Every structure is written in C-alpha cells, then in structure tokens.
Amino acid sequence: MNVFIFGSGAWGTALSVLLTDNGHTVTLWSHDPEKAAAMVRTRKNPALPGVKLPETLAVTSDPAGAERAELVLFAPPSKQLRSVAAAAAPHIRPGTVIVSATKGVEADTDLRMSQVLRQVLGKDCPVAVLSGPSHAEEVSRRMATGCVAACEDQAVAELVQEVFMNQMFRVYVNRDVVGVELCGAVKNVIAIGCGVVDGLSLGDNAKALFMTRAMAELAVLCQKAGGEWTTCSGLAGMGDMIVTCLSVHSRNHRAGLLIGRGAPVEQALREVGAVVEGYYAAASVRSLSEKLGVELPICRSVYGILYEDHDPEETVHTLMSRDRRSEFGFGWGK
C-alpha cells in the first residue's frame, strides 16, 4: 500500500519505520525542508537517537506526494494538526483512508483529533484512529507493542489493523472512536499529575490512588461524551495511562516530576525539550468537561497547577480532604 505520513516527529517517524518494515511504500513529510534533507542524507531523526531509517523510506517537505497515497497518516502535535491538515487537504483524493495518530483535544473548539480532520479535509474520506501504549522510542526499535485501531466502520478499522500489524506490533480493533480519543488525550493530563506525585515523593500508595481515581474520572467523561466506559479498561485507556504515567520515555510525567520538585511550569516545559501534550490537553479537557457538565476533580487540579499557579502540595491536600463517598457511586439503600 502507498502510505503518506504527515509529521516527522518521533511518533510519525517510528510509524514510518514500522510501515516500511511491513512492506508498504512509505513517504514521511516534514514541514521543514532542511530537516527533510538532513534525514535523507543521514538516514537519522534526532528525535530517535540510534535508530537508522530504512533506505526505502522516502522523506520530503512537499505535501503533493499525498496525491498518490491510498492511506494518509497524521502524526503532528495536537496544536499543529489543523494547520498541517489544511496544507494536506488539496492533495488528498476522495476515498483515501485517513488515520489519526495524534492524541489530544483541540483548544478553543474542544474537538477530538478525528473531528478536526473531518472538518478540515472536507472530503468523503473514512477516518480511523490509532492509539494505545506506544512510546515511539520502543516502536522504532521493533519492541513488542499493542495498539487499537478505532473506526465506526468495521471494514476500515480492520484495514488499518492489517496495514499496521506485525509480529512485534499487535493491533486490536474498536468501534468506540470517542472513547479511544478521549483516553489518549486525558491520560497525558493524568501523567503530569502522576509526575507531580512522584516529584513530591508521596510514595507508591499515593500514585496508585491517583491513577485509579483519575481513571474513574475518565470513564465518566467518556460516557458523557458518547463513548463507552469499557474502552477505559483497554489498551487506549488503562494501557496508555500506565505507560505514560510510569515510563522514563514519558515527557508528560517528566514535566510533572519537575513541577513537583519545585520547578515553575514554564521552566519544566522548557527542560523537557519537546512538546508536552498534557499541558495543552489539561485546558481542553477542562473546557470539554464544563461543557458536558462533568466533575473531574483530579484533572481540574492538574489544570490549577499548570495554569493557575496552585501549589502542588496544597492541591494534593485538597484532593485528599474531599467529602466521603462510595467508590462507584452505589449505596446500600434503606
């Protein structure tokens, strides 16, 4: 299959290596002509140290190559997806399979990434979502990984499954696009909070409490938005949350760790040195939850730390001092 990938960051590049391994004709697009030329020359991407790009992988800064593609994958940072999609739109043929590998909720519009693509591309193209616990560093090194291909159209989900799956990259299908995308966005917010917990040296008990109750919030949000709570217990939910909250590769956790240790938010974001998706997602998730009338105390607390200069230690104390309640909202009756 002829595949065109918009976004030459670590994730887009890792997926280009995967798809080339699978025997597809792959072109990787960068918005920066100099970066594209350097990748062609060195067969390396600085975002993935030690990984050699396949010789058959094409790299370009010209979006016109998408005109020949049967499948177009988008993997830029969430805040850049709309502008990248706008650049791609004139070159995508109707009927082309579109795959979103970007996790987030768009600021100002509260749209999920697949919704942004549908709105901008404006063509009769099926849109699927690829998500799950999948650090680019490990995927690019052919380490065992599992993901979810989500689409309302079963045939499209199964096509994406077939295109991406191999012996080291296992893909499951799911119809719940809403749940899969919200899980992918909110887990980044949770990971920042989990990093704060570690930065404050609150211990493993506190971290387990934080992650579990944050997952309960996510399940409520997914249901209210039209998704399925069961998605939260799968790879896109629990799986992605675990890897993002606990891995040394997680930029979101690293940012939270620095904040918990006393670094100002802006300094922490600079020190991480790459896009911290959870920072942007925290504002979007807060806006979406208010629009849907959903109370998310943990996600709201992370927002307060990031945007309202709330003290992390006092924030934890406030969360621990909330009113008593049933774990799942059930009572014993009279």
User: Do 166 and 261 lie in a common domain?
Assistant: no
In a domain, 332, yes or no: no
User: Which residue out of 35, 123, 187, 224 is catalytically annotated?
Assistant: 187
User: Do 281 and 132 lie in a common domain?
Assistant: no
Domain boundary residue, one of 146, 175, 204: 175
Domain containing residue 307: 178-320
Give yes or no for a contact between 301 and 193, defined as CB atoms under 8 angstroms apart: yes
Domain boundary residue, one of 159, 175, 191: 175
Q: How many domains does the chain have?
A: 2
Q: Where are the beta strands (DSSP E) in the chain?
A: 2-6, 25-29, 58-60, 71-74, 97-100, 127-131, 145-150, 169-174
> Residue 330 has what pLDDT?
67
Phi, psi of 72 (to 5 degrees): -120, 125
CATH number, domain containing residue 79:
3.40.50.720
- Tell me the whole-structure pTM to 2 decimals: 0.94
Q: Is 334 among the residues known to form the active site? A: no
Q: Render pLDDT for 120-157 as a digit per residue (tens, 0 to 9).
A: 998 789 999 999 999 999 999 999 999 999 999 999 99
CATH number, domain containing residue 195:
1.10.1040.10
Q: Render pLDDT for 78-103 as a digit per residue (tens, 0 to 9).
A: 999 999 999 999 999 999 999 999 99
Domain boundary residue, one of 112, 145, 175: 175
